[in-house]
Amino acid sequence: MRDLEYLRKYYKGNIEDALKRLKNGEPVQYIVGEVDFCGNILKVNKNVLIPRFETEELVDQTIKYINKFFDKKVDILDIGTGSGAIAISLKKKVNSNVTATDISKEAIDVAKENAILNKVDIDFINTNIYENIDNKFDVVISNPPYIAYDEEIMDIVKNNEPHTALYADNNGLYFYEQILKNIKPILKDKYLISFEIGEKQFNDIKKYKDLYLPESNITCKKDMQGRDRMVFITNIE
């Protein structure tokens, strides 16, 4: 019922065609073609993950950490930007230079369009994680693919959203290890790393943190449903 109300309110095309697509299991966000994320209107299509409320919480918590730890313009790297939701929201709310990467050229194209729509200047780079990036950053943030290949998820997600943005090897942990394993050269002396995570992944991510960034501290925060959802790694007291 909520999807139907959303469709009738926001869809600008032929409503009968839209209702057929909805009945066939297509997400209402793809049918409408846009979503509201942190108060920003973002275009979405099947090349990008549909931004979730949990990721809004990640952005809000990251902003709190930035305001607490930094009193200057910060350099931010958003890994796996997708629609550009995180990068755009941080750019609009924090005094920052923002770089955003994604391995999907199609996703980068969507993100660039969203940056123009929201009138923000972001450096988008089509690359794997942060290959060939030589800059150093105060803040690295990512909502990477973190679903294990054998994990059950809703059909509407599995059948519509890009699998490269959903699934990861190593029981969903692949990108966390790859990011932390190779991150030191791009971190400034004082840094903050923010991750969205699966609700059962914190202990494994902490092991990677202890292995690759043993001098840092790690904090896990829960989402509004009480599930472990956000991890923050920093060497700032």
* pLDDT of the residue at 102: 97
* pLDDT of the residue at 146: 87
Statement: 49-234 belongs to CATH 3.40.50.150: yes
Q: Are 137 and 186 in contact (CB under 8 A)?
A: yes
Q: What does the domain layout of the chain look like in residue ranges? A: 49-234
180 CB contacts (<8 Å, ≥6 apart)? Answer: 193, 205, 208, 209, 211, 212, 213, 233
Separation between Cα atoms, residue 170 and residue 122, nearest integer Å: 31
pTM: 0.94
For the chain, the first-to-last Cα distance in angstroms comes to: 47
Is 70 exceeded by the pLDDT of residue 31? yes
**Tens-digit pLDDT profile for residues 70-114:** 999 999 999 999 999 999 999 999 999 999 999 999 999 999 999
Share of the chain above pLDDT 90, in %: 76
Which SS3 state, helix, strand or coil, does residue 146 take? coil
Q: What is the DSSP letter of 1?
A: -
Mean pLDDT of the chain: 93
185 CB contacts (<8 Å, ≥6 apart)? Answer: 136
* pLDDT of the residue at 60: 98
**Tens-digit pLDDT profile for residues 149-187:** 888 888 888 888 888 888 888 999 999 999 999 999 999
- The model's confidence at residue 1, banded by pLDDT at 50, 70 and 90, is low
Which SS3 state, helix, strand or coil, does residue 68 take? helix
* pLDDT of the residue at 143: 97
3-state SS string for 111-132: HHHHHHHCCCCCEEEECCCCCC
Other CB atoms within 10 Å distance of the CB of residue 220: 16
236 CB contacts (<8 Å, ≥6 apart)? Answer: 69, 190, 191, 192
Burial track 108-121 (b if 16+ CB lie within 10 A, e otherwise):
bbbbeebbeebebe
- ∠ CA 49-194-108, nearest 5°, is 35
Q: Token digits for 22? A: 């909805």
Distances (CA, A) of 118 to 55, 82, 85, 115: 18, 15, 10, 5
Q: Token digits for 127? A: 């690359």
